[in-house]
Every structure is written in structure tokens, then in C-alpha cells.
Amino acid sequence: FSGIFFSGVAGWLTVSNGTKLAFVQRAALEKRLTVCCFLNTYVSFFSAFFNLFQLTAVDDAVLPTDGNFTLDLARPVEWIMTCPLMQLSLVLMGGSKLPEYRRYLMPSFSASILFLGTFGAFFGDELVSIKIAAFTISCMIFGAMVYFNRLQVMEYSTGEEGLLQGDSEFRKATLLLIATWSPFPIWYILSPEGLDLIGNVLIIQLGWAFLNIVAKFSF
């Protein structure tokens, strides 16, 4: 608890004493990229902390599955704390060509998907309809998020680029994010947190670790 509290205090101090994001989005490319690097540093620190926290039993939650799968709550909390920052980095990287409301919309998409996934994981076979509904809504939100990611590539390039054509660094970063995030819903639905189609705990944990590392290191 104290670790989470002090992490929150550190984040609040950084935001309250740092440069306003509205100014950063209108700043020169060098300044925007510097802030994006700082955000990615926070992503790394948060990821390291919560992955170490998973080694403890404090965050263990037994899911209502046949094998009584134990979920490390620190994992979805880590993603909720870090994935919105990755979407925010893209918006800041895009600069003043992107509407300012995207600084709130894109991280909100990411957080909503993760909240729904975590919420649905706590329902067993008796209430599987709730799990499926949460998964369906999260997939719709993911589709909307990808749509706006594509739109941002077009806005950044003034219509010259899209997901299928172009060579800018902004487009490459966007494609990396979409490509490395897309397997997560598939693995979720296969895991005990979803429809429990793969019951081997080692395979599930290795899969989550692999996807998480690839998504964050490539970005």
C-alpha cells in the first residue's frame, strides 16, 4: 500500500510541478520527444515496481474458475497505470496538429478497456454473460481507439499518410502500438481470466510476460 501511495505522490508532484501538457503539445518537436521519453521512463518504473509486487501474495485474487486460478492484481493495475501514458505519448508526439481533447480521450480509451477486462475476470461460468458483455464492449472501445490512432496519423501528415502507407516516425510508433496491443484481447479470452480455454498457469503467465515486454520495449 505504501509503495502505491508514494508512487501516486511522485506522479502528482511530477504533474503539478512540470510543464503543462497543453504547452508541451504546442512546443517544438525536440521538447515533445523529451517529454515522451520522460513518460516512457515512468512507464518503465511503474512496470518494474508492479512486476516485483506480483512476487508477493498481497495482490493475489482467486478467480471463480474450475482450477481456481490466482490472478496477480498488480498486473492489471500496472497496465492501467502505464498503457494510458503510452497513448498520451503518441498524442504529444503528434503535436499541435492533433486536437487537444485527444490528451484525455486516448488515455481514457486505454484505461476503460483495462477496467472492463479486470471487471469481467471476476465472473465465473454462472455469470459468463457478464464476462462476454464486458469483453465485447472493451473490443468495441479498442476498435474506436484504433480508429482514432489511424485518424491521428492522417492529421499529423495532413492526409498524406495512413496505416497502410507513409514513412514518418509518428506513423511507425502508432503501428507498433496497435500491432503489439492487438494480441492482448486474444490472449485474455484464452486465459482463465476470459473463457479459460488454456488452463496451464505457466503458459498463461509466460504469455502475459512476453506480450507485456514486447509491447513496451518496442514502443
First to last CA, the chain: 29
- On whether the CB atoms of residues 72 and 204 are closer than 8 A, the answer is no
CA distance 82 to 68: 28
The three grid cell numbers given for residue 187, joined into one nine-digit string: 490472449
pLDDT above 90 (res 13)? no
Where residue 15 falls among pLDDT bands split at 50, 70, 90?
A: low
> Residue 165, SS3?
coil
What single string gives the DSSP state of each residue in 35-74? HHHHHHHHHHHHHHHHHHHTTSSTTEEE-SSTT-PEEETH
pLDDT at 184: 95
Give the Å distances, CA to CA, from 161 to 112, 119, 152, 180, 218: 28, 37, 10, 20, 21
pLDDT at 154: 95
CA distance 57 to 30: 43
- Tens-place pLDDT, residues 173-210: 999 999 999 999 999 999 999 888 887 889 999 999 99
pLDDT at 59: 85
pLDDT above 80 (res 12)? no
Q: Confirm whether pTM is higher than 0.85.
A: yes
Helix and strand numbers, DSSP H then E, in the chain: 9, 2
pLDDT at 11: 62
CA distance 79 to 52: 14
Taking alpha carbons only, the member of 72, 70, 74 closest to residue 82 is: 74
Where residue 16 falls among pLDDT bands split at 50, 70, 90?
A: low
pLDDT at 176: 95
pLDDT above 60 (res 47)? yes
